[in-house]
């Protein structure tokens, strides 16, 4: 059966960030990170699954030595609200003691996921630990944490696409959009 991308896109109320806007901003972040980490061979840690598209584009354009690793975190709660409980599903494989580490996230909302991860990785004594988030929703913050590099500050809207999901779907949209309210109200 053919994949119905039109149906998928019909669920999107409006595009918040286009492919072009995302591409340009990721390139700017890459230039900044390449400059800041010159000669440091940083380890970039992708937070599965939402960050995969951002991570892939970001790593592709870093013009210096770097290494990759992956971590998976599960947060309980429904799609719209973090429960405050975070659990480690898959740890990184590499030792980070003495390494320069950058955690790569798609979005910071309550901040609880990134807070958990930075606290966890700090105990392993990296040389430095920074965070890069494509999207930041500061209005939703529930703990005192700010990403070191931010792609876009966005309003308090539930967004999907470019890796971000609603109930596991919409990650494959190439842009970041806001769903029509009926998509999630009908699903409740
Ligand atoms: C999303 C997102 C962040 C987290 C941000 O992950 O990818 O990791 O929520 O929310 P917070 O700032 O309120 O903690 P999710 O748990 O939905 O998993 P996913 O990456 O697999 O979609
Ligand atoms: C998590 C998350 N996932 C998708 N879209 C959003 O707006 C989100 N905020 N926190």
78-104: per-residue pLDDT in tens? Answer: 666 667 788 899 999 999 999 999 999
What's residue 32's pLDDT? Answer: 96
Decide: residue 137, CB within 10 A, 0-12 exposed, 13-18 middle, 19+ buried: buried
Identify the residues whose C-beta falls under 6 Å from ligand 1.
47, 49-50, 75, 82, 105-113, 165
Q: What is the pLDDT of residue 9?
A: 87
At 188 the pLDDT is 61
The residue ranges of the chain whose pLDDT is under 70 are 1-5, 76-82, 186-188
Of 109, 136, 156, 186, the catalytic one is: 109
H or E segment and range at residue 27: helix 19-36
- Quote the pLDDT of residue 184: 79
113-133 pLDDT, tens digit each: 999 999 999 999 999 999 999
pLDDT at 40: 97
- The question of whether 109 is a catalytic residue gets the answer yes
Pocket of ligand 2 contains residue 109 by CB under 6 Å:
yes
For residue 58, the model assigns a pLDDT of: 98
Q: What are the φ/ψ torsions at residue 117 (nearest 5 degrees)?
A: -70, -40
């Amino acid at each position: 059966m053919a994949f119905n991308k039109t149906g998928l896109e019909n669920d999107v109320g409006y595009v918040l960030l286009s492919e072009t806007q995302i591409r340009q901003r990721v390139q700017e972040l890459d230039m900044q990170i390449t400059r800041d980490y010159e000669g440091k061979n940083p380890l970039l840690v992708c937070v599965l699954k939402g960050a995969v598209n951002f991570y892939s584009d970001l790593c592709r354009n870093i013009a210096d030595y770097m290494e990759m690793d992956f971590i998976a975190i599960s947060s309980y709660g429904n799609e719209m609200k973090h429960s405050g409980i975070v659990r480690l599903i898959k740890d990184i494989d590499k030792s980070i003691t003495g390494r320069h580490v950058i955690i790569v996230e798609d979005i910071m909302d309550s901040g609880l996921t990134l807070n958990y991860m930075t606290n966890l990785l700090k105990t392993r004594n990296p040389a430095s630990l920074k965070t890069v988030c494509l999207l930041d929703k500061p209005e939703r913050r529930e703990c005192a944490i700010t990403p070191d590099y931010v792609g876009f500050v966005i309003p308090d809207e539930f967004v999907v696409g470019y890796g971000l999901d609603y109930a596991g779907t919409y990650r494959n949209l190439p842009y970041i959009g806001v769903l029509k309210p009926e998509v999630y109200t009908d699903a409740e």
